[in-house]
Amino acid sequence: MSSLFQRHCDRDLVGYLDGELSERSRLKVERHLDSCGQCRAELEELQNSLAECARYRDVLVAQAPQAPQPWRDLYRDFSRIDESLANTSLLVRLMRPLVHSGVPRWAFVAGLAALIVLFSLNQLRQAPSVQAAALLRKAVAVSQSQPRPAHRIRVRSSRQPEFTRLAGAQAALVEVAQAQAVAALFQEAHWDWNDPLSAHAFEQWRDAQVHKTDEVAAVQDPQAPSEHFTRIRTVSAEGEVEAASITLETGDYVPVSERLEFRDREWVELSEIAEPSMESAGTSGVAPVDVPARAAEPPSRPAAFSPGSSASISDELQVLSALSAIEADLGDPVDVSLIGGKVVVTGEEGIPPRRQNEIRASVANLPHVEVEFSPSHPAAVPSQTAVAAGAAGSATVSPMEARLEQHLGGHAEFDRFSTQLLDLDDAAMQRVYALRRLAQKFSPDDEAQLGSPDLNLLRELSRKHTAKLSEKVGSMERILVPTLSSLGGTVSIHPASGHAAWQPAAEDVYRSAHRVDVLISQMLGVTPANASSSALPSDLMAALEELRVNLDDCRKALR
């Protein structure tokens, strides 16, 4: 048996087992199998492997985490899609036979005129409902791509005294009496009471109404008359709620207020309370809710080396170092802060249990440490800024993407290129965030209070991050620079900053790395680009150069 033939058969065997060969190739393999014991044995091996894979899949199926929410009923969305396609398809449907049937020219023109009238009438009749549906759809897409943390709303109603409450994705609440009465109203009306002032809740209710009319209007902001909001008002012929209106910010579709009018003349108004009032409940009439204290970076920390049983920044540093040793400072949603004389390590429950145990174990022997895993909360999800517009967007290929594909020699190459690049970028950004976190936690003043072993430990940690980051940046440059040059990118020189302290240098590293991150996403079509694609290669090369220079500065300052 020639080795060449052997290889050929080998290659076809998997396809043969999968029934993917052409008739001719199949017969060829069968004939060969008749006479070749080695290939028959090989076939059996492959069969075993495939069977094992099938069992492996069964295990995966049994073990994969369940979908976190009940699956949505798509029929409602279907109707909405039908509605928004209705206008265009009506015109297209009516035009088609006219264009193709060879009717006289005058008849065609007259017909077209009649159609335009018909179409406009149809537009007039449908416009508000289509517009309302489209606006809500956008508002929901925005709220899903940028989930809001629990937030506070004010509730006024015709029968109950005014109160405020927390609302949001996972705001588990203990309701006060007046809230219970309003909650009952909402439940009866099938209106989501957990996050009532949201495009999603409004849309859910609106979709369920069979006979409804919509109005869409621009309204002035009473506080700032130059600002405009968009208000959707829907009147329904049936159900508990007779009419409901939602007011959205015009630019970003964030809901600011809502009014529900019930059939028995009762009404409820919900309004957003301006952002900074995320303070714990206090006198607001709602039991405090455990909003995870992730964002509570270290405003209050006791002086270093405070004697006795209270934690110091030295203890905090030990904890950070222990977490870093198991790389829990890279990507795991884990936070460390000095609160009430303890070093508190907080993580989200979403962290796999095995990882949670590792994290607990890593700091188990350190003094004054508390570890807690809280329910995950949506604010921690994307740290991207440029997500919104393309969130539910189409799978179209950007011009830059197309050029890259052409340059790299096909879609498969592009796919490999982008996977590799995104992985590197991910890894680099994790280091950048870890480094920045250290720089923010330990200012030059804090450093002055550290003893020399602690100082060494801190510098060691930071140096580890900069060294790894430098490797990643090097790999990115190797992949990117040749490609960018051939796409017309040019090199630019970036001056060194000459920071004496490493902390401001780390901040510069963060800024330039973030820019690289954004540009890479734009180049790969992950986020929509706002600049023209022709400038992108040079911009990205400049950003990479800047990152390299800033990183070198930071490493010098850390020596």
Partner 1 sequence: MAIFRQPQSGQELQDQVAQLYIETREDVYRYLLTLGVHPPKAQEAVQEVFLRLYTSLKKGEKIESLRGWVFRVAHNYGLKVRARQSVEEKFDPAFETHLASPAVSAERDLLDREKMTRLNSAVESLSEQQKRVLFLRMEGLRYPQIASTLGISASAVGEFLRRALLRLRKVRDE
Q: CA-to-CA distance for 135 and 113, rounded, in angstroms?
A: 30
Residue with tokens 């809230």: 179
Q: CA-to-CA distance for 516 and 536, rounded, in angstroms?
A: 11
Q: Would you count residue 10 as binding partner 1 (CB under 8 A)?
A: yes
Residue with tokens 């870093």: 324
Beta-carbon contacts of 434 under 8 Å, excluding residues fewer than 6 positions away, are 324, 329, 330, 465
- Of the two residues 57 and 190, which places its CB atom closer to partner 1 in the complex? 57
Describe the crossing of helices 105-145 and 75-100 by its angle, rounded to 10 degrees: 160
Q: CA-to-CA distance for 382 and 95, rounded, in angstroms?
A: 45
The only residue of 9, 182, 232, 429 in contact with partner 1, by rule CB under 8 A: 429
CB of 163 to partner 1, least distance (A): 30
Q: How many residues bind partner 1 (CB under 8 A)?
A: 74
Beta-carbon contacts of 19 under 8 Å, excluding residues fewer than 6 positions away, are none
Q: CA-to-CA distance for 119 and 50, rounded, in angstroms?
A: 58
The only residue of 114, 117, 412, 531 in contact with partner 1, by rule CB under 8 A: 412
Residue 365 burial (CB count, 10 A) = 9
Q: Would you count residue 4 as binding partner 1 (CB under 8 A)?
A: no
Q: Would you count residue 303 as binding partner 1 (CB under 8 A)?
A: no
Q: CA-to-CA distance for 488 and 538, rounded, in angstroms?
A: 7
Instruction: Tell me the CA end-to-end span of the chain in Å, nearest whole number.
Output: 64
- CA distances 555 to 446, 464, 468, 546, Å, are 19, 10, 11, 14
114, two tokens: 């009649």
CB of 273 to partner 1, least distance (A): 27
Which residues in 60-89 contact partner 1 (CB under 8 A)?
Answer: 60-65, 67-69, 71-72, 74-75, 77-78, 81-82, 85, 89
Which residues in 471-530 contact partner 1 (CB under 8 A)?
Answer: 517, 521, 524, 526-527
Q: Would you count residue 332 as binding partner 1 (CB under 8 A)?
A: yes
Q: Of the listed pieces 192-200, 273-281, 352-360, 489-497, which binds partner 1 according to CB under 8 A?
A: 352-360
Q: CA-to-CA distance for 444 and 441, rounded, in angstroms?
A: 10
- Of the two residues 281 and 387, which places its CB atom closer to partner 1 in the complex? 387
CB of 457 to partner 1, least distance (A): 25
Q: Would you count residue 13 as binding partner 1 (CB under 8 A)?
A: yes
Which residues in 229-248 contact partner 1 (CB under 8 A)?
Answer: none
The only residue of 331, 341, 504, 528 in contact with partner 1, by rule CB under 8 A: 331
CB of 98 to partner 1, least distance (A): 18
- Of the two residues 50 and 184, which places its CB atom closer to partner 1 in the complex? 50
Q: CA-to-CA distance for 441 and 420, rounded, in angstroms?
A: 32
CB of 295 to partner 1, least distance (A): 15
- AA letter at 309: S
- Of the two residues 311 and 439, which places its CB atom closer to partner 1 in the complex? 439
* 213 three-class SS: strand
Q: CA-to-CA distance for 47 and 43, rounded, in angstroms?
A: 6
Q: CA-to-CA distance for 353 and 290, rounded, in angstroms?
A: 21
Residue 391 burial (CB count, 10 A) = 15
- Of the two residues 179 and 513, which places its CB atom closer to partner 1 in the complex? 513
Q: Of the listed pieces 108-116, 243-251, 284-292, 421-429, which binds partner 1 according to CB under 8 A?
A: 421-429
Q: Would you count residue 162 as binding partner 1 (CB under 8 A)?
A: no
Contact (Cβ atoms closer than 8 angstroms) between residue 131 and residue 233: no
- Of the two residues 330 and 450, which places its CB atom closer to partner 1 in the complex? 330
Q: Of the listed pieces 123-131, 283-291, 361-369, 413-421, which binds partner 1 according to CB under 8 A?
A: 413-421
The only residue of 14, 176, 455, 501 in contact with partner 1, by rule CB under 8 A: 14
The only residue of 340, 375, 382, 453 in contact with partner 1, by rule CB under 8 A: 382
Which residues in 85-144 contact partner 1 (CB under 8 A)?
Answer: 85, 89, 144
The only residue of 225, 276, 307, 353 in contact with partner 1, by rule CB under 8 A: 353
Q: Would you count residue 398 as binding partner 1 (CB under 8 A)?
A: no
The only residue of 4, 54, 210, 448 in contact with partner 1, by rule CB under 8 A: 54
Contact (Cβ atoms closer than 8 angstroms) between residue 522 and residue 543: no
The only residue of 387, 408, 479, 501 in contact with partner 1, by rule CB under 8 A: 387
Give the residue among 383, 377, 294 at the shortest CA–CA distance from 337: 294
Q: Would you count residue 430 as binding partner 1 (CB under 8 A)?
A: yes
